[in-house]
Amino acid sequence: MKTKIILLLGAALLSAACSRSGGSQKPVVSSGPVTITFWHSMTDDASQAFEAFVKEFNEGPGLEKQISLEAVFQGQYSDATAKLRPLLQTGQAAALPDVMQIDATGVVDYMNTEYAFSVDDALAADTAYDLSRIMEAPLKAWNYGGRQLGLPVSASTTVMYYNKSILDDAGITVPPTTFDEITGVSRRLPPVNANNQSLKAFAQMPNSPLLTNWIGQIPGASSSASYVVDKRNGRDGNAAKLVCDTEGTLLSFLEAWKAMYDAGALLNVSEGLNNLFLSQQIVFLVTSTSNLTSLLNQIGGRFELGCAYFPRINDKANFGATVSGSALFMFNKGDKAKAAAAWEFVKFMVSAPVQARFAAATGYMPVNTASFDEAAYTAHVARYPQAEVGAKQLNETSADMMGITVGPSRDFYMEIMNQVSNMLVEKKSPQETVISMSAALNLLLDDYAAANAR
């Protein structure tokens, strides 16, 4: 997917680029038109929205500032990161994008490269920009070691959608909030749905973001959240080891997860979850708030869609889930005009009107505080009150709760899924699984550290 619109002529371009060493620069006037490249990973409704915004930028602010933006779809986030990594490692600055949409899989690569052009770098010159207009939680999600690397563009959190029609038929008026309560609902469900298909309460195979949420809900010894790995889940530096294994939080999760499975309330699957939910073979679906619009369209009124907070492992855990989604990251390729142009596009994408329309089109939460008063967003939540649940949950989520950032992110993700699944399939005890998971995940961290030693 590729959108290219070349629009020239307009006002002078102020540059806010800085050197690779991080020093601020005085704005300079562009000597002419500038063309920049934007890599993104959006699909479906979000992709259509991004295409529309790229066109709008090129025909408006871009035209005025002599900026032409070329947007290129680079596949899923992990695929895009896989394309970025060798360019950074081999110093191919010219081949880098000027702006890139990055999720947690690419943060470590970005923050360790000399080609980063951070938000802090941009603000050193653009002192008029008010960063407080960006919501605190999504903004903090992309701040590492006190350095604001990027600006959030697609903010979401994990909630629990449910088939309200099935619960109503079973006489259940309040959705469950814990694993035990999900098990209790399971006992009141019929064995099959209206199409004579097997009906289960829940289906999931935990991965690193989900495990991070459930571990994070557990109050820690010195904070209101617990972590999977050290350095606050890699937020204060490169994570070097697991901490959930020695702190007992991993064991607490595994025991609660296995109990739900043993009670028959849980399907141990990782693929096709949306289809199971849409075909009414499961009642509960934990997924991103960004899926709301898609789910409503696919349900098409066949049943009533409910939305509740992300479930807790037990009633001693806190409510909440980490902020997820993606941010826009800029690169310093030695061209000050391109870096300044990249910042202009980033500001456009996080502006109140754009974020309001993006949220209404996709189900993501606006990252701009002023977006909540935009007509496009107020009309959206009036029609779909489920859209407000994620924002309310985020307001109750501890500021100590942090998403996980590790170098071997994809391997970490898969290893957690495999270890938890093996516990259920091979009938291993939670204690055995803590030992095997700890060994496997710590080895991944050790190997990554050794391979990337500087």
CA–CA dist 338, 352 (Å, integer): 24
67-73 and 2-4 strand pairing: antiparallel
pLDDT of residue 453: 79
CA–CA dist 285, 294 (Å, integer): 14
Nearest CA to 156 among 318, 427, 391?
391
How far is CA 24 from its chain centroid?
30
By three-state DSSP, how is residue 357 classified?
A: helix
Q: 375-383 vs 352-362: helix axis angle to the nearest 10?
A: 20
What is the phi-psi region of residue 234: left when phi exceeds 0, alpha when psi lies from -120 to 50, beta otherwise? left
pLDDT of residue 362: 85
CA–CA dist 100, 331 (Å, integer): 8
pLDDT of residue 20: 34
Tell me if domain 2-141+324-373 and domain 157-321+396-451 are identical in fold: yes
- Under 8 Å between Cβ of 419 and 268: no
pLDDT of residue 23: 37
DSSP string, 168-204: HHTT--S---BHHHHHHHHHHS-SB-TTS-B-EEEE-
Torsion from C-alpha of 299, 303, 307, 310, nearest 10 degrees: -80
Tokens at 410, concatenated: 């994809």
Nearest CA to 123 among 148, 152, 96, 97?
148
pLDDT of residue 31: 54
pLDDT of residue 286: 98
Distances 85 to 64, 93, 107 between C-alpha atoms, Å: 34, 12, 11
Place of tokens 């409503």: 296
User: Any alpha helices (H) in 21-71, and if so which ranges?
Assistant: 44-59, 61-64
For the chain, give every domain's residue range. Answer: 2-141+324-373, 157-321+396-451
CB burial of residue 316 (10 Å; 0-12, 13-18, 19+): exposed
Q: 409-425 vs 208-216: helix axis angle to the nearest 10?
A: 80
- Under 8 Å between Cβ of 131 and 150: no
Q: How many helices (H) and strands (E) does the chain have?
A: 20, 13
Nearest CA to 404 among 198, 230, 146, 156?
230
Distances 373 to 94, 323, 378, 383 between C-alpha atoms, Å: 41, 21, 6, 15
Distances 198 to 54, 69, 280 between C-alpha atoms, Å: 45, 50, 9
CA–CA dist 51, 1 (Å, integer): 10
Q: What is the mean pLDDT of each run of 10 residues along the chain (454 residues)?
A: 32 34 38 90 92 97 96 94 94 96 89 95 95 90 91 95 98 97 98 96 97 97 95 91 98 98 97 97 95 91 97 96 94 95 98 96 90 95 92 86 90 97 98 98 96 79
Nearest CA to 223 among 199, 258, 247?
247
Tokens at 386, concatenated: 């489920």
pLDDT of residue 40: 97
Domain 2-141+324-373 top-level CATH class = alpha beta
Decide if domain 157-321+396-451 falls under CATH 3.30.200.20.
no
DSSP string, 399-432: TT------TTHHHHHHHHHHHHHHHHHTT--HHH
Helix, strand, coil percent values for the chain (each to nearest 5): 45, 15, 35
CA–CA dist 121, 18 (Å, integer): 6
pTM: 0.77
By three-state DSSP, how is residue 146 classified?
A: coil
CA–CA dist 121, 283 (Å, integer): 47
